Amino acid sequence: MTDYNSMDDADFRKMVRDFVEAECPAELRHVSRRMHRHEVWPWTQKLVAKKWIAPGWPAEHGGMGLSVAKLLAFQEEFDRLGVSRAPDMGVVMLGPLLIKFGSETQRARFLPKILTAEEVWCQGYSEPNSGSDLASLRCEAVREGDHFIVNGQKTWTTLAQDADWIFLLVRTDKEAKKQQGISFLLVDLKTPGITRRPIRTLSGEEEFCECFFDNVKVPAENIVGKLNEGWTMAKALLGFERIFLGSPKQAQTALSRLEVVARATGAMQEEAFRDRYAQFNLDVSHLASLYSRFADELKRGGVLGPDVSVLKAFAAGLYQRITETTIEAASEIGVKQGPSPFGNESVDPMGMFHLARPATIYGGSTEVQKNILASAVLGLPGA
């Protein structure tokens, strides 16, 4: 097995870049929407065959065993080349959690089928009135013999219509403090009593779903970790998620698309526009520098603190501002749905704009990030 961590960084990046450029089709690059399972299936199978489907997993569990430094480089190359993200909740979120908190039986049952993409997962966290305040969730699991009976609703469940399983945060103790009465449960979406209802977004895509649970019977052995200790695992996932959501990749890609549009329409000839573009360049550079700071902390084996929230808040707002300016620079073409030619390239300003809208919401809204910074970093009193 290849020891990727012993490779020179430049050689490693070139290896990743060469593979993607040779094997990832052009129609899966720089796509301004989330791709569905069937659309990325051939590309996913190439990653499976190369054993690159789980770069961050330890080698003993079937992953590439990449160090933090190599994992960040791997992801940065995929992002730079605009590779569409596959339905990867099982790889990115559930797999690492099972490796750390799951039982041997759970790891043996679920990890192999995540690695082959035979079973695709979705995340059941947010609920109506329990999105940013996730700890107030109400979806309930009641123990009855050797099963839990689940009732409730999840919403904004990304690509649930494509998934085979869902990992749920459920309330298992209504009397405990809200963070202390939550458990982490694995649910087969073929179980009777589950209804998935797609949500159509502003762009006309069905990227999310509402999921309803009506007396759904789930084996008790599907609970991960200890009863009522699911919040610990939820926080572990959210902290890991925020550095990747704070990556400069989206802003960098959006800025490159803005330049293409502005040069084609002549906006780049206007002094006022050049001033805005220069400011975006500075902001993207500052974001990349900030991201590197947190990434270096992970590379040293450190643990990210609450100050990582500044990264996600900064990245999301900047991404939105750049896409808004791209609409303006495209003039009347900017309101057209779908890609349009700008010079020798094709850009979808409206698709980019729509894709950026939820960036200040998912992964913890900007308002929540600011509250975390105010209380946990600056020590300001709560309202």
| Residue 241 annotated to the active site | yes
Q: Determine how many CB atoms are found less than 10 A away from the CB of residue 200.
A: 10
The H-or-E segment that residue 40 falls in is: helix 37-50
pLDDT number for residue 287: 94
Structural domain range at position 212: 121-228
Domain end call among 71, 86, 101:
86
* Phi, psi (rounded to 5 degrees) for 336: -80, 135
User: Given 119, 205, 210, 241, which residue is catalytic?
Assistant: 241
Residues 72 and 175 reside in one and the same domain: no
| CATH at 160 | 2.40.110.10
Task: Report angle CA 125, 126, 130 to the nearest 5 degrees.
Answer: 125
For residue range 56-94, what is the model confidence (pLDDT) as tens digits? 899 999 999 998 888 888 988 888 888 887 788 999 889
Check: CB of residue 181 under 8 Å from CB of residue 228: yes
Residues 27 and 60 reside in one and the same domain: yes
Residues 50 and 169 reside in one and the same domain: no
Residues 253 and 316 reside in one and the same domain: yes
Dihedral angle sign, alpha carbons of residues 83, 85, 90, 94:
positive
Residues 187 and 287 reside in one and the same domain: no
How many structural domains are present in the chain? 3
Residues 252 and 369 reside in one and the same domain: yes
Residues 288 and 169 reside in one and the same domain: no
For residue range 191-244, what is the model confidence (pLDDT) as tens digits? 999 999 999 887 788 889 999 999 999 999 999 999 998 988 877 666 566 677
